Amino acid sequence: MQGSNQMQQSYFQYSQCSGKKKALCIGINYIGQKEELRGCINDANNMKRFLGTQFGYKEEDMVILTDDARDPRQVPTQQNILRAMEWLVRDARPNDSLFFHYSGHGGQTEDLDGDEEDGYDEVIYPVDFKVKGHIVDDLMHDIMVKRLPAGCRLTAIFDSCHSGSALGMDGFYSTEGKIKEPNLAAEAGQSFMSAATSYARGDMGGVFSSVTGFIKTASHGRKAEVISKTTKTSPADCISWSGCKDSQTSADTEEAGKATGAMSYVPPHLTFSLGENPQQSYQQLLNSIRDNLRAKYSQKPQLSSSHPMDTNLLFIA
């Protein structure tokens, strides 16, 4: 099957999700640390149950990493997370269905290879991040996307701050089901408004900074877009849901008396939308999730993919 966008045309193949099913669910509360969260372990366990009841994932084909685990191999250290990612994609074949879920802290770090329009890579934080460091989106993409064959489905969910492109995929979709393009006109408008404000104050340095800042950003953004679309497309069928935009945080909250991440809670957000109506297209599901979150949270969940996709297709995992 052929998919195309304005930059290039790339080959990919949709998965029928009729083969092997494997899932990796990670929930990190950072117990006893200054950055402690409350709902992430619940999220991982809720997602495990949901995948089993709704999509037929077997317990023996799921790996769950939480920082309350008694088995040291199931604690979400950097080493265990990377090892589990390797397990998830090992021996993947066309029409297999792989599922990755992460609930924990997320952040950003300086982009060193020029593939990010905003100049920052997205990262997740293992429970031992203070010693071992973070895991960057480029590495997660190399492990969980690049190695997959055409026709293999990976569904990824990131319920963490700054997670819009946490899997390093740049095909973002609007609620109308269309690929979003960088809005350079809007960026220009903001920059020149700032320049005008500086001019009114007699701040000529501010005028220069605003205008040249936009020129540099636009130039870098176009370059990053070319690099990303050249290196981050895949013949595999990879789809990512994230709790918020790259620039936003993702709430750690409480629903029905239980701590949870706002994106992952069984009722009423992502999994509730599917549980209430499992026969939804990707576009409908994106709208359902945003509608459920809009009343209480400012974050805007994102849908992205490793290839141009038809968002009118029914969601399957």
pLDDT digits (tens, 9 = 90+) for 189-237: 455 445 445 545 555 555 455 556 655 555 444 444 443 444 556 789 9
Give the pLDDT of residue 261. 45
Of 268 and 242, more confident: 242
In the predicted model, is pLDDT for residue 283 greater than 50? yes
Quickly state the pLDDT bin for 88 (edges 50, 70, 90): very high
Q: Do 205 and 236 belong together in one domain?
A: no
Quickly state the pLDDT bin for 165 (edges 50, 70, 90): low
Which are the catalytic amino acids?
105, 161
- Whether residue 301 is contained in a domain is answered as yes
User: 170, 201, 220 — which closes off a domain?
Assistant: 220
Q: Residue 253's domain spans which residues?
A: 2-180+230-305
Instruction: Give CA–CA dist 283/27, Å, rounded.
Output: 27
Whether the CB-CB separation of 271 and 47 falls below 8 Å is answered with yes
pTM here is 0.73
Q: Do 161 and 271 belong together in one domain?
A: yes
Averaged pLDDT for residues 60-86: 98
> Under 8 Å CB-to-CB from 60, ≥6 apart: which residues?
none
Which of 35-44, 77-86, 208-217, 247-256 has the highest mean predicted lDDT (pLDDT)? Answer: 77-86
How many structural domains compose the chain? 2
In the predicted model, is pLDDT for residue 243 greater than 80? no
Give the pLDDT of residue 128. 97
Q: Do 176 and 199 belong together in one domain?
A: no
- Whether residue 140 is contained in a domain is answered as yes
In the predicted model, is pLDDT for residue 43 greater than 70? yes
Whether the CB-CB separation of 88 and 22 falls below 8 Å is answered with yes
Of 175 and 143, more confident: 143
Instruction: Give CA–CA dist 240/120, Å, rounded.
Output: 19
Averaged pLDDT for residues 126-148: 94
Q: Do 69 and 158 belong together in one domain?
A: yes
Give the pLDDT of residue 6. 36
The full 3-state SS of 62-124, as one line of letters, equals EEEEECCCCCHHHCCCHHHHHHHHHHHHCCCCCCCEEEEEEECCEEEEECCCCCCCCCEEEEE
Instruction: Give CA–CA dist 301/296, Å, rounded.
Output: 13
Give the pLDDT of residue 95. 96
In the predicted model, is pLDDT for residue 248 greater than 60? no
Q: Do 84 and 207 belong together in one domain?
A: no
Q: Do 206 and 264 belong together in one domain?
A: no
